[in-house]
Structure 1
């Protein structure tokens, strides 16, 4: 872990990739929201990069492609060279994944995206669809060989056991991910905990850990148990490579930098004190609705994004 004295940003190793990235990542969903005009979205990205944030998060499905298009515009004029660009793909079939990869490249106006991740691995069948011979992984490998992407990861927000299952299926197919993204926040430790179940396995395999939903778009803050800075400090204190946070204003960007500049590694007593404050609110997942409902499941609301099931499985269905 190191800090740049000019930018006041921490930089961390991204698993075993050899890359160094900013400990804070800029969330792509927020820069494409209807209440954030395009010029502000571009300004947020460029100001973040100017101040030392290098990790840019995005997804093929964010705001019907608006987030990727705005990111692409923001990365013009020399900014692309200063950024580590990540996006996510929903396609589970080879055909749909290849199509989405190409669309993301076009929207971002780049020839190569640093990291592309399988988005919303939230069902036990997802790993099998991805690694089927007609699955998305075949498209990812071809894209990597063609120089369209450099690293491969996956994300999910539902259940840590599904993350572990994805890692198992990958290992069965002789593949190790470069990164894994998951909810890591002050409530997570109390309910279906990714920090307790998934993080140790990723540390063991030296896979880059990407934290998301550190405040769950403000939902966690409604519990009145932790401040935004405490939420970011908690995630930074875990063995994360990047803590991705949504930023829809320059004031929220300032908050992210404040969290970094004031962060110091927490001892066990400090961590436990914070978890004690959130224990009751976090016990049943009330403030983590992405675990307990389908409200956050974009692919459930848009199953066509996933593409067709493998032909061999379709043939098993009665005619």
Structure 2
């Protein structure tokens, strides 16, 4: 248990100051659908649900039929943001989502996927494979996945790099908006943004971990989030529960984790739903959501501060467990 003295010390620290600044940047919800808050996605005019369904988990634990029910129940219940990736579960996640989007469900969704390829050839192939699996002629958002190495930005933007394929796909109507993701270190995100700026390119979205542990260690929330808000880039928060690792800390509940991430200036908080029960938990968290004020967030972070040292519950930052392109370098092209 955190002592009153240590909690007071924490509350006076830079983390608390950073949270106060973040709350001042928080944009109001644009509207609500089915009780789910919606936000405008950065400088785009797109309206997206404050909670999004992650694509990785639907390709794992549930059966295909249950995965389809998860996606369709989410869309019927007011969520419109769907996340996926070319490499998730060897393509199974996209195949299942594609089946779920039949029978008119594609029209209900803001559909996002990601590619790993760093070369123009690999990226173009992966874009087309994703579209085929998803059974659609376009995605609303395609992102460069796993920008996790310091040199990744130069490869994406270099001659013959994946940006060339992405721009051609956008021109052809296969891709509407372009973003990037990463989970390793905030400085790599900042470097990607500066390389983009040097090439006079503006990302529509950036995806990164935003959770109650991130605030204390190599923080995307402290370093990258203010830059995204300043530049009008849509913020996609991921790993709000740290793929379940954060709950192992026994300091916070799943709903507290979701409400914290939703209280930041995020456009969407993407959460994995491997069962209808977990989806219902996410729906209830969204419908009951009231933005946390600074005192509430400080109290929550004071509980997690003692166990957040060195990224203990953020294995995606400190290990290669979550690094698909490290384990499969051939995906990069």
1:86-125 to structure 2, matched below 5 A, reads 86-125=112-151
**Matched residue, 2:23:** none
Deviation at 1:3, TM superposition (A): 4.4
- Whose relative contact order is higher, 1 or 2, with alpha carbons under 8 Å and at least 6 apart? 2
Q: TM-score, normalised by structure 1?
A: 0.95
Matched, 1:10 2:37: yes
Deviation at 1:266, TM superposition (A): 1.2
Matched, 1:147 2:173: yes
Structure 2: how far apart are the matches of 1:104 and 1:257?
27
Structure 2: how far apart are the matches of 1:2 and 1:259?
18
Match of 1:211 among 229, 237, 240: 237
Structure 1: how far apart are the matches of 2:238 and 2:201?
24
Structure 2: how far apart are the matches of 1:238 and 1:155?
18
Matched, 1:55 2:50: no
Q: TM-score, normalised by structure 2?
A: 0.91
**Matched residue, 2:184:** 158
Structure 1: how far apart are the matches of 2:305 and 2:283?
27
**Matched residue, 2:5:** none
Task: Tell whether the 8 Å contact from 2:31 to 2:39 is kept in structure 1 after alignment.
Answer: no
Match of 2:96 among 60, 70, 77: 70
Figure out how many residues of one structure are paired with residues of the other and give that number. Answer: 305
Structure 2: how far apart are the matches of 1:202 and 1:282?
24
**Matched residue, 1:310:** none
**Matched residue, 1:315:** none
Match of 1:138 among 156, 161, 164: 164
Structure 2: how far apart are the matches of 1:266 and 1:66?
37
Structure 2: how far apart are the matches of 1:264 and 1:172?
39
Matched, 1:280 2:324: no
Match of 1:126 among 152, 167, 175: 152
Structure 1: how far apart are the matches of 2:45 and 2:243?
31
- After superposition, the C-alpha distances for 1:227-247 in whole angstroms (9 at most, x for unaligned) are 000000000000000000000
1:165-244 to structure 2, matched below 5 A, reads 165-244=191-270
User: Unaligned stretches of 5+ in structure 1?
Assistant: 308-319
